[in-house]
Structure 1
């Protein structure tokens, strides 16, 4: 009987430890994410309603000027100049379109559902702020290093088939690296992004250098930000698909 009582007590202690560990982990994840949001600008960061970014994409020896305008939760339009031609991609609510002269397109064509899905995350300018209310779940999966910098590894399930693993600096609480896994056209796609050269604009922190790597691209693409406008006035008609 004593052995049975001891066994029950041991089981209860183990269960209590597991529950406590999960609680501590959840608190740690929330603490890390809250510090990350604060590092990005806190109230000013979460007050972003629109943004316009002028940048340059560098890939395969080419320098491609680009401009992107986003309205929080509403739409985005991005224009990239390639060999004198403008490639335009836009999201208008739950639909999207593209003009790609490099593919022989003279007018706008609708984006596929998968293409819209992969771009829709860019409409949220507030990142991990209030992540639970967005339907996300977050888990602290461990610690690591990114180019020698110690980081927390936080896995975020966005609930729409996309899972992002963020490597958050233990010193600055900036995201130094993200690995995003999603499904497009029945195939799993992995997108690796490194962030650096962080600067503040109107009290909000932005990475001015971004390196993107994906099997869909021939090599690493480096994005260098030239200028950022926070909360510019935007005529939302620019997101509408033009009539051909």
Structure 2
């Protein structure tokens, strides 16, 4: 990880980090200057021999049980007008979950 200094992200002077992953993908992570929450991630990766850049914007953070969660996530090719947008309506932290949810289903009989 490398700190690259401040950079403007739609009017916010964000902290820019460069993250190089083991598989060679490079992500540029932009952090809000006040809370150090991710507000944008630009990832460069090789897909089917072509260099692809995906931009993800995170926002509308809400604090739930002491942890900030983004309630708005918008992602797509960098510079594209049409991006996929996810709006979270409700989030819960530290809820109990039945262990059975994580069990593999039984194989069908032959």
User: Scaled by the length of structure 2, what TM-score is found?
Assistant: 0.79
Instruction: Select the structure of larger CA radius of gyration.
Output: 1
Q: CA deviation at 1:161?
A: 1.9
Aligned-partner Cα distance in 2 for 1:147–1:171? 15
Give the unaligned 5+ runs of structure 1. Answer: 1-137
SS in 1 for 2:30: strand
Give the unaligned 5+ runs of structure 2. Answer: none
Q: 1:202 aligns with which of 54, 65, 69?
A: 65
Q: CA deviation at 1:151?
A: 0.9
For this pair of structures, how many residues does the alignment match? 103
Post-superposition CA distance 1:109-166 (Å, at most 9, x none): xxxxxxxxxxxxxxxxxxxxxxxxxxxxx00112111121111110011212221101
The 5 A counterparts of 1:122-161 are 138-161=1-24
The 5 A counterparts of 1:1-244 are 138-214=1-77, 219-231=82-94, 232-233=96-97, 235-237=101-103
> Would you identify which runs of 4 or more consecutive aligned residues in structure 1 move more than 3 Å?
none
More strand by share: 2
Higher RCO by CA contacts (8 Å cutoff, separation 6 or greater) = 1
User: Scaled by the length of structure 1, what TM-score is found?
Assistant: 0.38
